[in-house]
Amino acid sequence: MNHFKQHSILPGFNLALGFTLLYLSLIVLIPLSAAFIRTAELTWSEFWTIVTTPRVVASYRLTFGVSFAAALVNAFFGLLVAWVLVRYHFPGKKIVDALVDLPFALPTAVAGIALTALYSGNGWIGQYLEPLGIKVAFTPLGIFVALTFIGLPFVVRTVQPVLEDIEAELEEAAATLGANRWQTFAKVIFPILFPALMTGFALAFARAIGEYGSVIFIAGNMPMVSEITPLLIVTKLEQYDYAGATALSVVMLVISFILLLIINLLQWWSRRRSARA
Amino acid sequence: MVEPTPQRTGLRTIMTTTITFPLSGKTFQQRATQEPSWVRCFLIGLALAFLTLFLFVPLISVFYEAFKKGVDVYLAAITDPDAVSAIKLTLTVAAIAVPLNLVFGIAAAWAIAKFEFRGKNLLITLIDLPFSVSPVVSGLIYVLVFGLQGWLGPWLAEHDIKIIFAVPGIVLATVFVTVPFIARELIPLMQAQGTEEEEAAVVLGASGWQTFCKITLPNIKWGLLYGAILCNARAMGEFGAVSVVSGHIRGSTNTMPLHVEILYNEYNFAAAFAVASLLALLALVTLALKTLIEFRNKQHQTQRGDE
């Protein structure tokens, strides 16, 4: 017997693992490999030309810039919401807590049309912003709003459990040593939360980069201005430019994998940090 | 040592500084581990303002826009034959995708949680992979395999089998994006439960199937339900991946989210929001069920803690 698996008296290992691997291969791995294998049919210079045309580069800049900004806003407000939900009591708290997950549960297309209706010139919010010269719908600002919406739960849900587990003794010790509340937060609580906060930020960022449904309604989708990379993939596909769509999707996949790796490292760091605290 | 008290406030009162003013006899209390009340109110206000702007108002606006032109328009929109066929297709797709991922989730969790083997962490990462792939790319990869230009395209065309721009493609893309939901719910749960109960059952002569049905399944049923509810919500609401493989054929390959898009792009806003309100309702039911299960779990845990 090799050392692949430790001995166990429980049955079903071969069946369960076999089925898992077969299913994963058929549904996930083989189709994903198709993107890479099809791209490998291009030469390096062909690939490079496709993924660095000005229109494509503009879409990267937009996608990453706006995703980063939205994730940053979510990091700040996510921390605030998590803090308020864990530490304070107010009427309706349970409902608010449950509704934080709404962006996970609400189909992205619904979020997209709702936000567009709200922020367009005659919408509930847009009508107050437009006279101030702030156009949200059909501009990059609209993309920012949509990406903030869909990334909202990530930071809250990664920070919340860590905050709940912080023992009161730590803060009491800080207080008896003369720290005020702000000092206690900045020097004791925040460093414990930081890895979780970074994880939440990275998750929100990764989600925002790939987002499509909620963005396309509100973006206006102008090439060079408000066209995100996932939309460009769809556009190329609709023009039967399979090579172009596939090359772009490989760029997106590689970036997703790098982010996944970073997120795993952050989660590992977060677990170690909170285990020590 | 401080006696552990059941309530956290019991510990906190010890830290209360009491300042007594001898003349007035008034007592001011400020807990050393709490913020002043104005800070508390400000933070609660700011958090609620943010959530109102980004969550509650968009949610309310879906229902407002749906009923803006009256109940008749609303009912007409959701009973329109194309809408009904979109609803039927969405239910069908979820009815296929959720059970498939349920079986996969159980198998994967059984292998990962109950056994020790090499490469386990890699396997867990692979299961999570679809979460980090853009929905558009998730659809595209199936076009690359089954599309006319794809690997199996010519063979499928020869045998007159349609996958892309047809229902099977929609099902496949939905299965892809929902692969991790149930597995990632079950793996930590079954890991925490350990293997002792199952081992005892096997030692007492139970077959593998009996052990699973009588020991494991009752232990994981709530986690299973939780994962299935989230999986279902995503399966019914998926837009990007499905949009790429669907072909948007009205009345035949349109799911509810795609139907919303078509109506919206035709400037038929009332109808678009009417169908969207059904999806929003689904999201609310999902959240309610999810909260209910979480509440039940918490109670269950405290009950166990009391024993």
ipTM rounded to 2 decimals: 0.91
pLDDT at A276: 64
Work out the pLDDT band at A163, boundaries 50, 70, 90.
very high
Give the B window 178-237 contacts with A, CB below 8 Å.
179, 195, 198-199, 202-203, 207-208, 211-212, 230, 233, 236-237
Note whether B190 and B114 are within 8 A (CB).
yes
What span, in angstroms and rounded, lies between the C-alpha atoms of A193 and B170?
40
> Average of pLDDT values for A141-161?
95
| C-alpha closest to that of B127 among B164, B55, B182, B66 | B182
Check residue B54 and give its pLDDT.
Answer: 93
Residue type at B130? P
What residue ranges define each of the domains in chain A, with the CATH number in brackets? 61-227 (1.10.3720.10)
| Residue B151 contacts A where some CB pair is shorter than 8 Å | yes
Residue pair A249/B137 in contact by the 8 Å Cβ criterion: yes
Output the pLDDT for position B82.
93
Q: Would you say the C-alpha torsion B277, B281, B287, B288 has a positive or negative sign? A: positive
Helices B81-114 and B269-306, packing angle to 10 deg: 30
Other C-beta atoms closer than 10 Å to the C-beta of A177 total: 10
B26 pLDDT tier (thresholds 50, 70, 90): very low
How many Cβ pairs within 8 Å bridge chains A and B?
Answer: 296
The mean predicted confidence, pLDDT, of chain B is 87
Range in A263-272, B129-138, B233-242 with the lowest mean pLDDT: A263-272
Tokens representing B28 are 């001011």
CA B123/CA B142 separation, integer angstroms: 22
Residue A44: partners with Cβ closer than 8 Å, 6 or more residues away: none
Distance from C-alpha of B90 to C-alpha of A244, rounded to nearest angstrom: 31
Q: Tell me: pLDDT of A143 over 70.
A: yes
* Helices A229-238, B135-146: inter-axial angle, 10-degree rounding: 30
Quote the pTM value.
0.89
What is the Cα–Cα distance from A54 to A223, expressed in whole angstroms? 10
Greatest extent of chain B over all pairs of C-alpha atoms, in Å: 98
Contact call for B276 and A209, based on CB within 8 A: no
Confidence at A2, pLDDT banded by 50, 70, 90: low
Q: Which of chain B's residues have a Cβ under 8 Å away from the Cβ of A252?
A: 134, 137
Q: Do B175 and A124 touch (CB under 8 A)?
A: no
Share of chain A above pLDDT 70, in %: 97
**Percent of the residues in chain B that have a pLDDT greater than 70, as a whole number:** 89
Banded model confidence at residue B25, pLDDT cuts 50, 70, 90: very low
* CA pair distance A78, A158, nearest whole angstrom: 9
**pLDDT at position B8, please?**
44
Q: What are phi and psi of B31, to 5 degrees?
A: -70, 135
| CA A249/CA A130 separation, integer angstroms | 36
Q: What is the mean pLDDT of residues B69-82?
A: 93
Contact residues for A16 (Cβ-Cβ < 8 A; gap 6+): B107, B108, B110, B111
* pLDDT reported for residue A269: 85
Per-residue confidence (pLDDT) for residue B149, from 0 to 100: 83
Mean pLDDT of A263-272: 85
Q: What is the DSSP letter of A207?
A: H
Mutant choice from A22, A81, A113 vs B, greatest count of B C-beta within 10 A: A113
**Residue A167: phi, psi to the nearest 5?**
-80, 145
Nearest CA-CA partner of A205 in A160, A135, A266: A266
Q: Is the pLDDT of residue B187 over 90?
A: yes
pLDDT in tens, A203-212: 999 999 999 9
Least confident of A29-38, A145-154, B31-40, B134-143: B31-40
Question: Which pLDDT band holds residue A67 (cuts at 50, 70, 90)?
Answer: very high
Q: How confident is the model at residue B7 (pLDDT cuts 50, 70, 90)?
A: very low
| Residue A12 near residue B124 (C-beta atoms within 8 A) | no
Mean pLDDT value across chain A: 92
Task: Please compute, for residue B280, the number of CA atoms within 13 A of its CA located in the half-sphere on the CB side.
Answer: 26
The torsion angle over the Cα atoms of residues A79, A82, A84 and A89, rounded to 10 degrees, is -170
Chain A residues with beta carbon closer than 8 angstroms to that of B134 = 209-212, 230, 233, 249, 252, 256
pLDDT at B31 (0 to 100): 67
pLDDT exceeding 90 applies to what percent of chain B?
72
Per-residue model confidence (pLDDT) at position B30: 57
Residues A47-64 have pLDDT tens digits of 999 999 999 999 999 999
Give B 227-286 residues with CB within 8 A of chain A: 230, 233, 236-240, 243-244, 256-258, 260-261, 264, 269, 272-273, 276, 279-280, 282-284, 286
pLDDT at B209 over 70: yes
